[in-house]
């Protein structure tokens, strides 16, 4: 799993902790508002409280990660978002009971923090300054809210994973995910409607919940359907190539004839580059006799036949490209595209039903 637009801030237990730019912007905005007194009531104490919330979220995600590691699941990173955090696991728990424990430990951590601090707060109340009393009371309250909010039965909250673990005991994992995601989306719609009449902030939360449920459903569907599938299983083996000396006009005609939008540029048993319809479509008519080597991409990402298709899809998405040449022992043996992957998904989905 990758998370775009996030920066690493530190590591703990070998796990990188990253801050999503939206969370970073939120914290920066709050401190700016506090320092320059743009909004009455939002002062430096409130800004510090937001920082404490950040700490609570980190502890929440570390609890998830610790239990996951105990089950032998590798954690790639922890990413902090405005509505919480995400522990990016390299694989999903195979046992629904494991997922249940991993999901529950996060909210439980926040509730335990609140339960421990509340008696302490009652004991020292009045002996601290008003600012410290305010911070402690609201930090306790935030942990309660964070724990309760994450128990909502909707992705990306932990309650969605709790719901899926319950459903997965009674149906296959994909159907359990789809049903849990559907329930999460319906909850988001209800939350948005309530937000229209009572609190517009609920609409923003509803959007995050809806998008999170949809992304979780698609991610799980893809990872499960493509589990164990390798590039060699679905790649196109009969690869049509073009020469670097072919003209733009000749290559465009080849594209329209064979209905493929990208071709490896191959010469002398060596991959020279790759050329796509996007590279050539905007070239003026008076340059159509120019050779494609002037427009091809020379630094080409490649795959190999033994690579997992899930990692190929991630590579395609991250680099915003449509296809990868498949190289084995320095020889072009195939090409794999998003179209190939989508066809494989459709076939495997129809088999599962």
Point out the domain boundary residue: 181, 203, 225.
225
Q: In what helix (H) or strand (E) does residue 106 lie, and over which residues does it extend? A: helix 96-124
> Which CATH number is 347's domain given?
3.10.580.10
Point out the domain boundary residue: 163, 194, 225.
225
For residue 242, the cross-strand partners are 265
> Is the CB of residue 258 less than 8 Å from the CB of residue 240?
yes
Q: Is the same domain home to 151 and 213?
A: yes
Q: Is the same domain home to 149 and 37?
A: yes
Point out the domain boundary residue: 208, 225, 242.
225
Q: What angle do CA 145, 150, 152 make, to 5 degrees?
A: 105
Tokens of 269: 């048993």
pLDDT, residue 189, reads 92
pLDDT, residue 126, reads 67
| Per-residue pLDDT reduced to its tens digit, 257-275 | 888 888 888 887 788 888 8
Indicate whether this model's pTM tops 0.75: no
Look up residue 236 and give its DSSP letter. Answer: B
In 3-state terms, what secondary structure has residue 183? helix
Residue 334 falls within a domain, yes or no?
Answer: yes
Q: Is the same domain home to 200 and 266?
A: no
pLDDT at 1 > cutoff 60:
no
Q: Is the same domain home to 60 and 206?
A: yes
Q: Choose between 101 and 13: higher pLDDT.
A: 101
Strands 15-20 and 75-81: parallel
Residue 68 falls within a domain, yes or no?
Answer: yes
Of 61, 99, 216, 307, the active-site residue reads 61
| Per-residue pLDDT reduced to its tens digit, 212-259 | 888 878 877 787 788 888 998 888 888 888 888 889 888 888 888 888
Q: Is the same domain home to 237 and 342?
A: yes
Q: Is the same domain home to 116 and 178?
A: yes
Verify whether residue 61 is a known catalytic residue. yes
Q: Is the same domain home to 74 and 212?
A: yes
pLDDT, residue 105, reads 93
> Is the CB of residue 279 less than 8 Å from the CB of residue 296?
yes
Q: Is the same domain home to 241 and 340?
A: yes
Instruction: Please give the residue range of the domain that contains residue 67.
Output: 6-225
CA distances from 325 to 83, 226, 249, 301, 352 (A): 40, 19, 23, 8, 30
In 3-state terms, what secondary structure has residue 226? coil
Split into its structural domains, the chain has a count of: 2
Q: Is the same domain home to 89 and 24?
A: yes
Q: Is the same domain home to 184 and 289?
A: no
Residue 1 falls within a domain, yes or no?
Answer: no
């Amino acid at each position: 799993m990758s998370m775009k637009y996030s920066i690493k801030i530190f590591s703990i237990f070998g796990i990188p902790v990253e801050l999503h730019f939206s969370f970073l912007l939120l914290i920066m905005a709050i401190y700016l508002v506090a320092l320059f007194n743009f909004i009455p009531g939002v002062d430096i104490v409130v800004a510090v409280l937001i920082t404490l919330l950040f700490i609570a979220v980190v502890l929440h995600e570390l609890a998830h990660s610790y239990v996951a590691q105990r089950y032998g699941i590798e954690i790639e990173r922890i990413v902090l978002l405005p509505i919480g955090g995400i522990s990016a696991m390299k694989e999903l728990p195979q046992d629904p009971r494991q997922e249940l424990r991993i999901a529950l430990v996060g909210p439980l951590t926040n509730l335990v923090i609140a339960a421990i601090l509340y008696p302490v707060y009652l004991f020292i109340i009045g002996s601290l300054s008003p600012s410290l009393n305010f911070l402690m009371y609201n930090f306790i309250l935030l942990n309660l809210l964070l724990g309760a909010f994450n128990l909502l039965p909707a992705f990306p909250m932990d309650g969605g994973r709790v719901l899926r673990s319950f459903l997965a005991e009674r149906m296959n994992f994909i159907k359990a995910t789809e049903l849990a995601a559907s329930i999460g989306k319906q909850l988001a719609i209800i939350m948005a409607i309530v937000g229209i009449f009572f609190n517009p902030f609920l609409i923003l939360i509803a959007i995050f919940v809806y998008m999170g449920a949809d992304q979780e459903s698609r991610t799980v569907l893809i990872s499960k359907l493509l589990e164990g599938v390798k590039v060699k299983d679905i790649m196109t083996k009969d690869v049509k190539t073009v020469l670097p000396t072919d003209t733009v006009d000749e290559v465009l005609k080849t594209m329209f004839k064979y209905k493929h939008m990208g071709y490896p540029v191959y010469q002398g048993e060596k991959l020279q580059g790759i050329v796509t319809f996007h590279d050539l479509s905007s070239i003026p008519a008076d340059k159509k006799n120019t050779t494609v080597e002037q427009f091809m991409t020379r630094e080409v990402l490649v795959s190999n036949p033994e690579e997992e298709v899930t990692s190929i899809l991630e590579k395609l998405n991250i680099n915003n490209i449509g296809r990868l040449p498949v190289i084995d022992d320095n020889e072009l043996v195939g090409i794999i595209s998003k179209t190939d992957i989508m066809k494989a998904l459709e076939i495997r989905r129809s088999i599962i039903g």
